[in-house]
Amino acid sequence: MSDESTNTATAAGKNSTPTPQRNFIRQHIDDDLSKGVVSDGTIITRFPPEPNGYLHIGHAKSICLNFGIARDYRGRCHLRFDDTNPAAEDVEYVQSIQEDVRWLGFDWGENLFFASDYFEQIYDMAVQLIRQGHAYVCEIPQDQWGEYRGVPSKPGRHSPFRDRSVEENLVEFGKMKQGVYPEGSRVLRARIDMSSPNIHMRDPAIYRIKKAAHHRTGDHWKIYPMYDFTHCLSDAIEGITHSLCTLEFEVHRPLYEWVLEKLSTPCRPQQIEFARLSLSYTVMSKRRLLKLVTDGLVDGWDDPRMPTISGLRRRGYTPASIRDFCETIGVTKYKGITDISVLEHSLRQDLNLRAERAMVVMNPLKVVITNYPQGQVEMLSAVKNPEDSSAGTRDLPFGREIYIEKDDFMVDPPKKFFRLGPGREVRLKYAYIIRCDEVITDPATGEPVELRCSYDPETRSGSDTSGKKVKGTLHWVSALHGVNVPVRMFDRLFNVEKPDEPEEGKSFTDYLNPDSLTIVETAIAEPDLLSAQPGQYFQFERIGYFVPDHRLSQPGKPVFNRSVALKDSWAKASRTS
Ligand code: ATP
Ligand code: MG
């Protein structure tokens, strides 16, 4: 095995997958392999989403982990839909999940499975448990379950139905299956231990009555297996060797193992738990994301402010940046909150390598270059990507009137302001050095509305013979050629670091940031940007990374989304404040 400890968070390059870090799960797998407990040495993992929502960045962590291990151990990873709750599930989600996993760069090949395909087998295994005396049909009303179950420090009470005969249980379970009984009136329970300190072992329900149509099996079933019963059996049926799940399932592991042992399944997958990803300034539970969507608080599951994979994609995240992020955060047993800036950092690093550069002035201030000939236009050459010489060059038209950023000019600048001010000189990127000779202000407001400047023809970029040195370089756009493009700027969706933990009496939606979307109508871009297509990545020089929105853009009329600012403005703000 190669030395992976030298891996760093910055190792991701274009189209590359970073070298995987060692983690305790890989260690566990190595140990299992060396002990020979993996029957034919093939490591089989699975990613098991419930199709009740779109995938989010937390799922990406699990996807990268499961598919990454399968790739590195030359095993395989199954995509399995855990579809045992017909009420919440939908084919729309089944499709979006497949699209997102593929987009992230992973392939399950032939190994697409649905837990619902095992309903018949799982039912037979429930019958087997009944025959063995390990399961019974319980009629305790739902409102008394808690009381019977008790609390961890005190044993629970036995259900009066616990000692039913096998024959009676078989008849009753059969009737549940036929739909004779109403929902909630009965459950099938595993007969384990009502005094176990682990609540999950106190005769947990393994089948319930549910009379909703299932997206694959229709009305065939009136009973559905519970998650804990389904998951271990699905893993065993598929021959999964390592079943990786998040920490909250640690306390379910004894039940997972109990079921497999009682049913003597030939395959005994190892359940291993790791800490789920939590990100600051966002929510990750599908229930909450669904609420944002159904209450119209965002523009659908793929709103660019959402932490969903489809939202991140629409925002301009690349698959490589998300994989790099998942590698950076690693896999541990420790719960913690990852700052969203870590994700943004992975994106900047990747986009710096792949984004085409463009000049866009967000908030224009007109500059007239008084000594530049009227009517003259010259084509200047600019590189498309300084990090990638194969990207080539682009033509930038330059003329007597241009726009610069309002922020790049001050009437009375402090000494450290290296941009433009009366009498000062700056370089226009890929063009000339100009000097500000005169400021025209709005008489009503006193605001500068136009600058009169002069240029030095000797200072053309690439053939500068003047020997002049200036400290500031500005981006600019020719006024005659520039095109107006709408730009959507995003900020954090929530105002607080942990919207997931609202104060007493408040809802997480109370913390939505009202300024998370602002639309800039004034932006003027170099003319080539009109042909920008969704799927292309851009760096607007000195401003940030942008992509054409794939829903709102039309041919020749792109609408841009800001993916991420060029620098982490929040980090800067918190340093200086
Ligand atoms: P949610 O809490 O968002 O509704 P879930 O766990 O119910 O998520 P599933 O569809 O069951 O969603 O998740 C599929 C897989 O993804 C599971 O193995 C789960 O452990 C994993 N997963 C879900 N959320 C995260 C997360 N935040 N970090 C890491 N893995 C996650
Ligand atoms: Mg789940």
> What percent of the chain stands above pLDDT 70?
95
What is the model's pLDDT at position 438? 98
User: How remote is the CA of residue 231 from the centroid of ligand 1, in Å?
Assistant: 14
Residues 226 and 459: their CA atoms lie apart, in Å, by 74
What is the model's pLDDT at position 221? 97
Mean pLDDT along residues 235-248: 98
pLDDT single digits (tens) 411-426: 999 999 999 999 999 9
What is the model's pLDDT at position 17? 55
pLDDT single digits (tens) 17-61: 556 778 999 999 999 999 998 988 999 999 999 999 999 999 999
Q: Among 224, 256, 288, where does a domain finish?
A: 224
pLDDT single digits (tens) 449-459: 999 999 999 99
Check which CATH number belongs to the domain holding 161 and give it.
3.90.800.10
Ligand 1 pocket test, candidate residues 47, 52, 54, 59, most atoms within 8 A of CB: 59
Residue 294 lies in a domain: yes
pLDDT single digits (tens) 5-18: 333 333 333 445 55
What is the model's pLDDT at position 21? 74
Confidence of residue 571 (pLDDT cuts 50, 70, 90): low
pLDDT at 574 over 60: no
Residues 63 and 46: their CA atoms lie apart, in Å, by 9
Mean pLDDT along residues 532-547: 97
pLDDT single digits (tens) 330-364: 999 999 999 999 999 999 999 999 999 999 999 99
CA-closest residue to ligand 1 atom 2: 285
Phi, psi of 244 (to 5 degrees): -95, 125
For ligand 1, residues with CB inside 6 Å are 48-50, 58-59, 61-62, 82, 245-246, 276-277, 284-286
Residue 42 lies in a domain: no
- Both tokens of 77, joined, read 């990873």
What is the model's pLDDT at position 8? 33
pLDDT single digits (tens) 262-289: 999 999 999 999 999 999 999 999 999 9
Do 170 and 216 belong to one domain?
Answer: yes
What counts of helices (H) and strands (E) characterise the chain?
A: 13, 29
CA-closest residue to ligand 1 atom 27: 58
User: How remote is the CA of residue 78 from the centroid of ligand 2, in Å?
Assistant: 16
pLDDT single digits (tens) 182-238: 999 999 999 999 999 999 999 999 999 999 999 999 999 999 999 999 999 999 999
Do 376 and 453 belong to one domain?
Answer: yes
Do 475 and 392 belong to one domain?
Answer: yes
Do 156 and 301 belong to one domain?
Answer: no
Residue 268 lies in a domain: no
What is the model's pLDDT at position 18? 59
Confidence of residue 567 (pLDDT cuts 50, 70, 90): confident
Residue 80 lies in a domain: no
Which structural domain, as residue segments, surrounds residue 426? 357-486+525-531
User: How remote is the CA of residue 331 from the centroid of ligand 1, in Å?
Assistant: 14
Q: Is 44 helix (H, G, I), strand (E, B) or coil?
A: strand
Query: Please, what is the average pLDDT of the chain?
Result: 94
Do 438 and 481 belong to one domain?
Answer: yes
Do 479 and 361 belong to one domain?
Answer: yes
| Active-site amino acid positions | 50, 276, 286
Residue 1 lies in a domain: no
Mean pLDDT along residues 88-104: 96
Question: What one-character-per-residue DSSP string does 427-483 give?
Answer: EETTS-EEEEEEEEE-TTT--EEEEEEEEEGGG-TTS--S----S-EE--EETTT-E
User: How remote is the CA of residue 526 from the centroid of ligand 1, in Å?
Assistant: 43
Q: Among 224, 250, 265, where does a domain finish?
A: 224
Do 373 and 334 belong to one domain?
Answer: no
CA-closest residue to ligand 1 atom 14: 49
Do 145 and 205 belong to one domain?
Answer: yes
Q: Residue 339 to residues 97, 254, 281: CA-CA distances in angstroms? A: 25, 34, 8
Q: Is 244 helix (H, G, I), strand (E, B) or coil?
A: strand
Residues 244 and 254: their CA atoms lie apart, in Å, by 15
The DSSP 8-state label assigned to residue 76 in this structure reads: E
Residue 103 lies in a domain: no
pLDDT at 569 over 90: no
Q: Residue 166 to residues 137, 162, 163, 173, 225: CA-CA distances in angstroms? A: 10, 11, 9, 10, 19
Residue 461 lies in a domain: yes
Do 293 and 363 belong to one domain?
Answer: no
What is the model's pLDDT at position 23? 92
Ligand 1 pocket test, candidate residues 45, 62, 80, 306, most atoms within 8 A of CB: 62
Q: Which atom of ligand 1 is nearest to the CA of 52?
A: 10
What is the model's pLDDT at position 367? 98
pLDDT at 570 over 70: no
- Are the beta carbons of 50 and 96 closer than 8 angstroms? no
Domain count, the chain: 3
Do 495 and 470 belong to one domain?
Answer: no
Residue 56 lies in a domain: no
Do 392 and 432 belong to one domain?
Answer: yes
CA-closest residue to ligand 1 atom 3: 285
Q: Which helix (H) or strand (E) holds 64?
A: helix 57-72
Q: Which atom of ligand 1 is nearest to the CA of 249?
A: 20
Check which CATH number belongs to the domain holding 445 and give it.
2.40.240.10
- Are the beta carbons of 374 and 347 closer than 8 angstroms? no
Do 478 and 511 belong to one domain?
Answer: no
Check which CATH number belongs to the domain holding 502 and give it.
1.10.1160.10
Mean pLDDT along residues 519-531: 97
